[in-house]
Amino acid sequence: MSAQPRSETSTRVLTATGITKTYRRGSERVVALEGVSFSLDAGEFVTVSGPSGSGKTTLVNVLAGWETPDVGEVRWTDGDVDPAAPAWGALASAPQRLGLLDELSVHENVELPLRLRDGADRADTAEQVGAALETFGLHALAHRLPSEVSLGEQQRTALARALVGRPRVLLADEPTGHQDAGWAAGVIAGLQRARERGTAVLVATHDEEVIVQADRAVELHDGRVVTPA
């Protein structure tokens, strides 16, 4: 982990306190997270690691607001963000299952958050979309549908889409999961560039290459934090 002291003046964007989340599987009760507290500052790059099933994806989903915790709360503490309904502009996500729109080209998928947020037309978004496509090596295939590119390229499309609007927070779930070694490094560089622009980057990963680049690494085991957040 690179030594990057947390600045006393940095802005805390997100605070989760005492999160417990359980799922039901038939008659069984699965504790996915237990008493997890976690915070994220503007412009820091944090990894959440741990073995498969340790609760990484559940934590990302709770922070994103897609899952409601049984106990605990998630608070947006960034004045620029509406805590009741963080918008795409504030919170962006590259989920493990990507969530690309099959009917839209790579370019249109990446452009979508800008159009939804700003109602912008293509001329207004060209520069930002072009930069995001370039960062993730998608320029040459931008006109293709997701089904016409590799899984790694689909994953990079999801990352470009998440970052195109310069969100306050990026939640990325296993963002190097479908990348070869060369593009894993490219993805990490893209995340670091976002961080340098002030985006708080939270990555759920078990990829050592990513973990060593983090300002802070949080580890989960059986739904509990084993390294202090």
Ligand X SMILES: Nc1ncnc2c1ncn2[C@@H]1O[C@H](COP(=O)(O)OP(=O)(O)O)[C@@H](O)[C@H]1O
List residues near ligand X by CB under 6 A. 23, 25, 30, 32, 50, 52-58
Cβ proximity of 90 and 80 under 8 Å: yes
Q: Considering CB distances under 5 to 8 angstroms, the limit depending on partner class, which of Mg ion, ligand X, none binds residue 29? A: none
Distance of closest approach, residue 72 Cβ to ligand X, in angstroms: 15
Distance of closest approach, residue 49 Cβ to ligand X, in angstroms: 9
Containing H/E element for 14?
A: strand 12-25
Q: Which is nearer to Mg ion, 57 or 125 (CB)?
A: 57
Contacts of 83 (CB under 8 A, 6+ apart): 75, 76
Distance of closest approach, residue 199 Cβ to ligand X, in angstroms: 22
Q: Which is nearer to ligand X, 48 or 132 (CB)?
A: 48
Q: Which is nearer to ligand X, 19 or 142 (CB)?
A: 19
* Bridge pairing between strands 45-49 and 200-204: parallel
Cβ proximity of 219 and 229 under 8 Å: no
Residue 176 found at the interface with Mg ion (CB under 5 A): no
Q: Considering CB distances under 5 to 8 angstroms, the limit depending on partner class, which of Mg ion, ligand X, none binds residue 55? A: ligand X
Q: List the beta strands (DSSP E) in 169-229.
A: 169-173, 200-204, 216-221, 224-225
Q: Dihedral sign, CA of 42, 196, 209, 174?
A: positive
Distance of closest approach, residue 57 Cβ to Mg ion, in angstroms: 3
Distance of closest approach, residue 75 Cβ to ligand X, in angstroms: 21
Q: Which is nearer to ligand X, 36 or 162 (CB)?
A: 36
Q: Which is nearer to ligand X, 55 or 175 (CB)?
A: 55
Residue 125 found at the interface with Mg ion (CB under 5 A): no
The closest alpha carbon to 175, from 43, 56, 66, 89, belongs to 56
Reported as half-sphere exposure (CB side, CA atoms, 13 A), residue 144 has a value of: 13
Q: Which is nearer to ligand X, 111 or 173 (CB)?
A: 173
Question: Contacting Mg ion (CB under 5 A), which of 47, 54, 57, 213?
Answer: 57
Kindly report the number of other CB atoms within 10 A of residue 198's CB atom.
15
Site for Mg ion, rule CB under 5 A: 56-57
